[in-house]
Amino acid sequence: MLSLEISSSCFNQETKLLAFEPSRKDMDEVEEKSKEVINVTTEKLPVDEVLQLVISPLCGAVSLFVGTTRNNFEGRKVISLEYEAYLPMAENEVKKICTVFHGLGLVPPSEASIISAVSSAHRAASLEAVSYAIDTLKAKLPIWQKEIYEESSSWKGNRVLWGIQQ
């Protein structure tokens, strides 16, 4: 049993943090509550905060995926990654999936660019779900990563099949 679904989102100007939060469904899935939260955060993506959003006494497992900026790509030194997003559509796509925090703007090496978290009653579902979530997010979220090297930069494109439709 997964506690995912409907999310609200907030955008923090200061740190360019894009946060999608799930609302919680009761175990018998009768009532859906959504919450609007304005986040004021430090510069880095808040792993603790993400965990607090998904942890629930009803769930015995939480799986977390954290994507961080790597300092090299194909032999070239990466100074930073820069993220750009089509925000309203990204929100709608994520609503179908799980809790995601994605960095926007500059994300230097070793910093987290994405945190995806899923909680469930037992670990198999949560591990599988977070893996599915990150794969699906990479294929569907309208977010772009620009690799900034020492002397140049280029927009990266994931190998995705556009034929994957909902």
Partner 1 sequence: MILYFAKSAEITGLRSETISVPQEIKALQLWKEIETRHPGLADVRNQIIFAVRQEYVELGDQLLLLQPGDEIAVIPPISGG
* Interface with partner 1 (CB under 8 A): 67, 83-86, 88-90, 92, 102, 113-114, 134, 137-146, 155-158, 160, 162, 165
Environment class of residue 103 by beta-carbon count within 10 Å: exposed (0-12), middle (13-18) or buried (19+)? buried
In the complex, least distance from residue 88 CB atom to partner 1, rounded to whole angstroms: 6
Nearest residue (CB) to partner 1, 62 versus 100: 100
In the complex, least distance from residue 155 CB atom to partner 1, rounded to whole angstroms: 5
In the complex, least distance from residue 149 CB atom to partner 1, rounded to whole angstroms: 15
d(CA 145, CA 85): 9
Helix axes 87-95, 123-140, angle to 10 degrees: 150
Nearest residue (CB) to partner 1, 35 versus 86: 86
Nearest residue (CB) to partner 1, 53 versus 143: 143
In the complex, least distance from residue 27 CB atom to partner 1, rounded to whole angstroms: 30
In the complex, least distance from residue 33 CB atom to partner 1, rounded to whole angstroms: 25
Nearest residue (CB) to partner 1, 79 versus 139: 139
Residues whose CB is less than 8 angstroms from the CB of residue 140 and which lie 6 or more positions away in sequence, other chains included: 93, 164
d(CA 48, CA 41): 11
Q: 10 Å Cβ neighbour count for 124?
A: 11
Nearest residue (CB) to partner 1, 12 versus 144: 144
d(CA 29, CA 114): 28
